[in-house]
Chains A and B, each alone.
Chain A
Amino acid sequence: MSFDWGIIAGNWKFLLLQGLFGIGSFGGGTLRLAIPAMVLGSILGVVIGLCRLTHRRWISYPAVLYVEIFRGVPLVMVIFWFWFLIPQITGQRLPDYSVALAAFVVFEAAYLGEIVRAGVQSVPRGQVDAALASGLTYGEMMLHVILPQAIRNMIPSLVTQFIVIFKDTSLASIIGMMELTKAAQIVSQREIRPFEMYLFLAVVYWICAYSMSRFSRRLDSRISPDHVQSTRVLRLSS
């Protein structure tokens, strides 16, 4: 078995610029899909997470239903739904990119909503008492007292979910959206060099995911320095 690394040298511009960053005539792009999906998904996730936490059942039950539905179906299926359903409903085809982004936001918001809920519930009840007793409204309490503490507790699971979103964008290739995996498929079929191509693909995904997890560790130590932590980190040793 012989390797021909020349195909990477010859195609890296297309792969990285077009595939990863979405700069080129095809649009799309892994990061151009992943980053808005994370941002919009988080916003929807906060709404869903907070809805789940209210005592008003007509708000919390639909949120529970939403989470249970989207956690119970595969992402590929949701992408297909949007791909086939949106033209049925609106009567016109949307670009691949918009369909993929919509599917990602709706799907990931279910997971992110659960992370937000767990984060808010990790804040001691006494904080709610203190904030409400001082005359803050529910919204002010959430914004200034609860969410800043909840986000700190959420960072590890949030970054894990963001890495999952980043890697899952490869599924957008099934509806033909141009992103890293799709670009690699095109090159590998043209050059008939699948092994080199997919190894390169793995390396690029890994570098991006690893950078994210390194960044999260730095963010975690910056946002919750020792003087803010009331409890020491538990370490298990043998």
Chain B
Amino acid sequence: MLGYFVNSLFQAQQPAECSLLVAEQVRFPPDVPFAPKGFPGAGLLDFVVDGPTKQGYQDIVMITFRQVNKWFGATHVLRDVDLKVRAGEVVVVCGPSGSGKSTLIRCINKLEPIGQGEIIVDGRSLSNPTTDLTALRAEIGMVFQQFNLYPHMTALQNITLAPVKVRKLSREEAERIARKLLAKVGIPEKADHYPAQLSGGQQQRVAIARALAMQPKIMLFDEPTSALDPEMISEVLDVMVELAKEGMTMIVVTHEMGFAKKVAHRIIFMDEGRIVEEGGPEEFFANPKEERTRSFLNKILVH
């Protein structure tokens, strides 16, 4: 029912839909719908797009955390984390630095092993030794704060490497898909550029295209806009909003609260390795239950 963003790419007859990413009419209404009344700084970051921005999600659990604990040496970085993410759901994770939010999503594709508990992704347990980890990782796209593009490869080569090596696509097929994805993220003319020749925002969009080329079921974003110059943030967020609209399952670590209000089904606030609070965006911003959440939101929304 909910076609994933990339699935449409693989239908050969369909022309590339570049129009998806044409800048939408953004308006700043005088009365911001999500702005909680009397909340300091509320409304400053709001930008609202005409029409619905959120899809529903399915009642299929994609990711389960069961009592997950993790230590780095003596530091307890994840404490009793319980979490369920459903197919098509967009979850935003926020919290102060060192709260374990990056570690949380790095555990989902086992870039970090966990100490205790269990993580089940797409029906497969990460702690089960018979789980084919590389096959599972191929289903999970990941976008990093520092982009992590391969500097010795062009944008096109960056995108086609995994589809050719892991999915065993032919080079021509992989390049065809890569070019369509570059068009979708708005930089079709940069296919033969090296990462060092691209701006930060362009690099991050190539990185998103690289992750999408594997037709992932889940996309993980680890502070995707934190290393970007302010004027490049929106070009990356626009791509992510499109992706969310297409029904992709997404977990996004970010401090972009405007993005969270617009597309998230659920916002999770973490502190000291614990999930302190979670809820839908309206409720989360309007009536944060925990004192810790309130002081955090005060700090990041005031500027």
Using a CB–CB distance below 8 Å, which chain A residues touch chain B? 124, 126-127, 129-137, 140, 144-145, 148-149, 152, 227-230
A44 nearest CB across to chain B (Å) = 25
Which single residue of chain A is at the shortest CB-CB distance from B164? A144
| B300 at interface by CB-CB < 8 Å | no
- The A-contacting residues of B in range 92-115, CB under 8 angstroms, are 106, 109, 111
Known contacts A135-B138, A227-B196, A129 near B162 by CB under 8 Å: no
Inter-subunit contact B140/A133 (CB<8 Å): yes
Residues 128-153 of B, flagged 1 when their CB comes within 8 A of A and 0 if not, give: 00000011011111101010111110
- 16 A-B residue contacts at CB 8 Å? A129-B106, A130-B142, A130-B150, A132-B109, A134-B141, A134-B162, A134-B210, A135-B137, A136-B161, A136-B165, A144-B161, A144-B165, A145-B161, A148-B152, A228-B152, A230-B196
Inter-subunit contact A228/B196 (CB<8 Å): yes
- The A-contacting residues of B in range 198-234, CB under 8 angstroms, are 207, 210-211, 214
A226 nearest CB across to chain B (Å) = 8
Known contacts A136-B162, A144-B161, A129 near B111 by CB under 8 Å: yes
Inter-subunit contact B148/A126 (CB<8 Å): yes
Q: Which of B106, B111, B135, B152 contacts A135 (CB 8 A)?
A: B135
| B166 at interface by CB-CB < 8 Å | yes
Q: Which of A135, A136, A148, A227 has the most CB of B within 10 A?
A: A135
Q: Which of B138, B165, B195 has the most CB of A within 10 A?
A: B165
Chain B positions within 8 Å of A132 at CB level? 109, 111, 137
| B53 at interface by CB-CB < 8 Å | no
Chain B positions within 8 Å of A136 at CB level? 134, 161-162, 165-166
Inter-subunit contact A127/B165 (CB<8 Å): no
Inter-subunit contact B111/A133 (CB<8 Å): yes
| B5 at interface by CB-CB < 8 Å | no
Q: Which of A130, A137, A148 contacts B144 (CB 8 A)?
A: A130
Task: Tell me the complex Cα distance, A148–B153, Å.
Answer: 10
Chain B positions within 8 Å of A127 at CB level? 148, 150
Which single residue of chain B is at the shortest CB-CB distance from A127? B148
Chain B positions within 8 Å of A227 at CB level? 194, 196-197
Inter-subunit contact A133/B161 (CB<8 Å): no
Which single residue of chain A is at the shortest CB-CB distance from B196? A230
Inter-subunit contact B134/A137 (CB<8 Å): yes
Inter-subunit contact A133/B195 (CB<8 Å): no
Chain A positions within 8 Å of B106 at CB level? 129
Chain A positions within 8 Å of B150 at CB level? 127, 130-131, 145, 149
Which single residue of chain A is at the shortest CB-CB distance from B110? A132
